[in-house]
Amino acid sequence: MDLKPLFEPRTMAVIGISATNDRHPANVIFAKNHLRYPVEVYAVNPKGGKLHNETIYPSIADIPRKIDLAVLATRAELVPDVMADCIKAGVKSAAVISGGFTEGGRKDLQDRMVGMAKEAKFPFIGPNCLGVYVPFKVDTFFLPIERMIKPDAGGVTLVSQSGGILVDHMIKFAQQGVGLAKAISIGNKAFIKEKELLAYLTKDSTTKVIAYYIEGFGEGEGREFVLAANRCAKPVIIMKSGKTPAGNRAVSSHTASLAGDYASFSAAIAQHNILEAANELELVSSCEVLSSYTKPIEGNIGIITGSGGHGAMAVDACSLAGIKVPELSEPTKAEIKKNLTDNIQAIAALGNPVDLTGSAIDEDFVACAKVMGASAEIDCVIVLLLPYIPGMTLDIGVKLSSVSKQFNKPFIAYVPQVEKYTMLIEGFELNGIPVSPSIEGAVLMAKALARRQPC
């Protein structure tokens, strides 16, 4: 099946339009795409009529253009017949936004849809979903445009059974500067599932990292997906719910998924080159760092800080994450000390972490970073920056980014995320250096790099 029309449609029909209610989900989708994206959008409702001077077509067959993507937002009991009309009219794909299928006790309706889609090789996602969002191409989310937070375009594609979790992570991506290639809400995933999307995204030139929020699999699906993900040359990250009996029940009522035995699932993905994110922070952190750096690291972390307390917290977090913070060799310590400013030479703690103290200036951070960048003892450098240190300027992000590029070594920065420090943060992000608003997040980034193994 060709999934390209789902994500790069030239024509789209929104079925279920209301002539009187602009807040109807179908109307919201139509309005968001009409004249805002490079896709011709057509409205459909059996009653016909007009929508703000635009024609409402009585059926998909009445539209004068062949349709790449149909968005179905009608009552559940009408969807199978509408899908049959789409297939007959030569529509190439669909997103079924409507709910009320297996998750609501109407498995018969969902089975009818799947049966005809299989026979016609007609790709659709859903039902009970938001559909797809692709920056600058298409947006089938029935969320008012003024309330959506959209990350910048980038390399991460996020696939989620939950529309709410997906939108939450788009907000987190935007806050943390993580670029988005695609956001795909699959809901009940009646036909197009994680495995089919993985096959498409593996070849998608805009996707560098593939992340999933998964509630559960049908019988046999989990094993097939894990084996396929193991063969994928791109990083695959999974965050799963339904880890407990109570969570399992919640999953079943939400998308009618089988959460299965979490311990077995977690063990399986760990053995097959798939990264598991324990929580939202780890998912966002892993997505950010793996879209910045493609090569894995051995796992020896160097830490530079202007605060001993921050350094100690980072070392604890590294230890709990299973990554090493080795003591620096005496020659490396001597080289760092030699290049520090006179005032800092006398007071800096030169173990690992290297605590340059609150008296350090930009040049001290840069000098230390250069030594760690050149050292074979360190695979990745975490820099804990406190922009309120008097001698530090907002140009430190640009300066340290230059060091990372000079030595071709991954740097990860921790910077408190407030508007006052935006210039500093942008100095890193504009140069492809990931920045975390928390020490734990910075360490989780290093953990993701250390766990990622080449295929």
Q: What is the pLDDT of residues 100-156, one digit of tens each?
A: 999 989 999 999 999 999 999 999 999 999 999 999 999 999 999 999 999 999 999
Residue closest to 16 by CA, chosen among 78, 87, 93, 107: 78
Residue closest to 189 by CA, chosen among 225, 153, 242, 151: 225
Q: What is the pTM of this model?
A: 0.92
Residue 112 in contact with residue 84, Cβ under 8 Å?
A: no
Of 239-243, 311-315, 325-329, 351-355, the one with minimum mean pLDDT is 239-243
Q: Determine the pLDDT at residue 455.
A: 38
What single-letter DSSP state applies at residue 60?
Answer: G
Q: What is the pLDDT of residues 173-222, one digit of tens each?
A: 999 999 999 999 999 999 999 999 999 999 999 999 999 999 988 888 88
pLDDT bracket for residue 245 (50, 70, 90): low
Query: What is the side-by-side order of every strand in the sheet holding 411-414?
Result: 354-355, 301-305, 380-384, 411-414, 435-436
d(CA 159, CA 209): 11
Does the pLDDT value for residue 248 go beyond 60?
no
Tell me the average pLDDT of the chain: 93
Burial of 163 (0-12, 13-18, 19+ CB in 10 A): buried
d(CA 391, CA 345): 15
Please enumerate in sequence order all residues whose Cβ is within 8 A of that of 53, keeping only pairs 6 or more positions apart, or say none: none
For the segment 67-78, the average pLDDT, to the nearest whole number, is: 97
Helix/strand/coil percent split, the chain, to 5: 40, 15, 40
Structural domains in the chain, sorted by start:
1-127 (3.40.50.720), 149-292 (3.40.50.261), 295-451 (3.40.50.261)
For the segment 256-269, the average pLDDT, to the nearest whole number, is: 71
Residue 415 in contact with residue 439, Cβ under 8 Å?
A: no
Is the model more confident about 122 or about 297? 122
d(CA 285, CA 239): 12
- Report residue 81 CA to chain centroid gap: 34
Please enumerate in sequence order all residues whose Cβ is within 8 A of that of 139, keeping only pairs 6 or more positions apart, or say none: 29, 32, 33, 37, 132, 133, 148
Is the model more confident about 444 or about 252? 444
pLDDT bracket for residue 454 (50, 70, 90): very low
Q: For a pLDDT cut of 70, what percent of the chain falls above it?
A: 95
